[in-house]
Amino acid sequence: MTIDSSTPRPELLLPAGDMEKLKTAVRFGADAIYLGSEAFGLRAHAGNFSLDDLRQARAITAAAHVALYLTLNASLRPSEFTALEALLEELKPLDLDAYIVADPGVLTTIRRVDPRRAIHISTQVNSCNPRAAEFWRQSGASRINLARELTLEDIRAFAGQTAIALECFVHGAMCVAHSGRCLLSTALLERSANRGDCAQPCRWNYALVEETRPDERFAIEEDGRGTYIMNSRDLCLIDQLPQLMAAGISSFKVEGRMKSLYYVATTARIYRAAIDRLSADPTAVDPLWRSELEKVSHRPYTTGLLLGDQGAAIHAADTHYIRTHDFVGFVRRDEKGLWVAGRNRFFAGDTLELIGPQMRQQAFVAERITDRDGQPLAAGQPNSELLLDLPQWAEEGDLIRRERPR
């Protein structure tokens, strides 16, 4: 396997569900960030950004030389285009780096209202072949997010048959439906997944009912908790990055605008380290990367359909979250110095671990916990403001975790 040294290293594209997560993604190594406004995105229940928030986000990312992409990938109704045009006019001065779209009507509206803006095509359009990619390129798009149903061989075919830049998901939650185009939420709850309001009924526990005995429910069981028959695993392609880089992928995208601050930091620092090292030496896969990704809350990992018949797996009998570590706090700074914002409970005497960018991490013991006035505390609590004896290299924005008792 070889990676062309003349090819720019792939972009690391991280999610931001709110301003704190955006700052964390920037600090921990993102090249680009995607987020949603208060309309026309596919995460209606994420911490979406108001126009004022977007101005602040643009200032933060511009200062850090990080690209900022806005999701406008919902499927629109005829009556909504007037509001879209008004939003696009308001967004013009922000000079965002690209809009992510799926609806051809949205694309043509952007081309008319804001023709200078770059357009990226969402995975929602199910782009499974190079001819479809060429259609989008000729329509004005500069990048396409490939369908997650593609194999590595399929992806290699794209690079030779289209000039559009290729982006793919490498980590995060997956959808039971083809590239996320699901009608189940609409059918059961009148909440459209294609308009940002998915209730995730695929994650629910179902039972069988025989029509002549409607009061009797028959569990579909694998264990005492039941079987989640439509639930999907989480994607993790950290071990496949060299092949994806060699195949011509120019942007690696992490799913998770509704995930935690700890998730954003962990995925950013690991994929940042991996991209940087593998760009220099594609054989230098570090087992630590996978080990660290196991320490963030996740469903069982899979490589999806990327490797074809070699271990292809999307669904599992039990896809409850695996949690080996708790995110217990993050480091803040003010005029008085460093302090810790508590997120989960921990106790004096617990072994904690500080993690920061550039793969910095160090275990330490919480020998003494106090409030900010120096009064001793037995435990750190959520939403508390604490003082701890941190490792000397601690900086604002670093995170603290604790291994869960086994």
Which domain CATH number covers 332? 2.40.30.10
Q: Based on the domain organization, do 253 and 353 belong to the same domain?
A: no
Q: Based on the domain organization, do 34 and 125 belong to the same domain?
A: yes
Q: Based on the domain organization, do 46 and 128 belong to the same domain?
A: yes
What digits encode the pLDDT tens for the residues 199-249? 676 666 676 776 776 776 655 655 555 555 667 889 999 999 999 999 999
**Owning domain of residue 339:** 325-403
d(Cα 50, Cα 137) in Å, to the nearest integer?
Answer: 30
To the nearest 10 degrees (0 to 180), the angle between helices 51-63 and 81-91 is 40
Q: Based on the domain organization, do 351 and 284 belong to the same domain?
A: no
Check residue 218 and give its pLDDT.
Answer: 58
Local structure of residue 180 (DSSP, 8 states): G
Flag whether 106 is in a domain. yes
**CB-count burial class (<10 Å; 0-12, 13-18, 19+) for 111:** middle
Nearest to 371 by CA among 384, 354, 383: 384
Q: DSSP 3-state assignment of 394?
A: coil
d(Cα 254, Cα 236) in Å, to the nearest integer?
Answer: 9
96 pLDDT band, cuts 50/70/90, is very high
What token pair was written down for 308?
């074809």
63 pLDDT band, cuts 50/70/90, is very high
Among the listed ranges 71-80, 201-210, 220-229, 307-316, which one has the minimum average pLDDT value? 220-229
Check residue 148 and give its pLDDT.
Answer: 86
84 pLDDT band, cuts 50/70/90, is very high
Flag whether 172 is in a domain. yes
Q: How many domains does the chain have?
A: 2
Q: Based on the domain organization, do 344 and 269 belong to the same domain?
A: no
What token pair was written down for 301?
């990992």
Q: Which amino acid is at 24?
A: T
Give the pTM.
Answer: 0.87
Q: Based on the domain organization, do 394 and 260 belong to the same domain?
A: no
Flag whether 117 is in a domain. yes
Q: Based on the domain organization, do 297 and 329 belong to the same domain?
A: no
Flag whether 204 is in a domain. no
CATH number at residue 160: 3.20.20.70
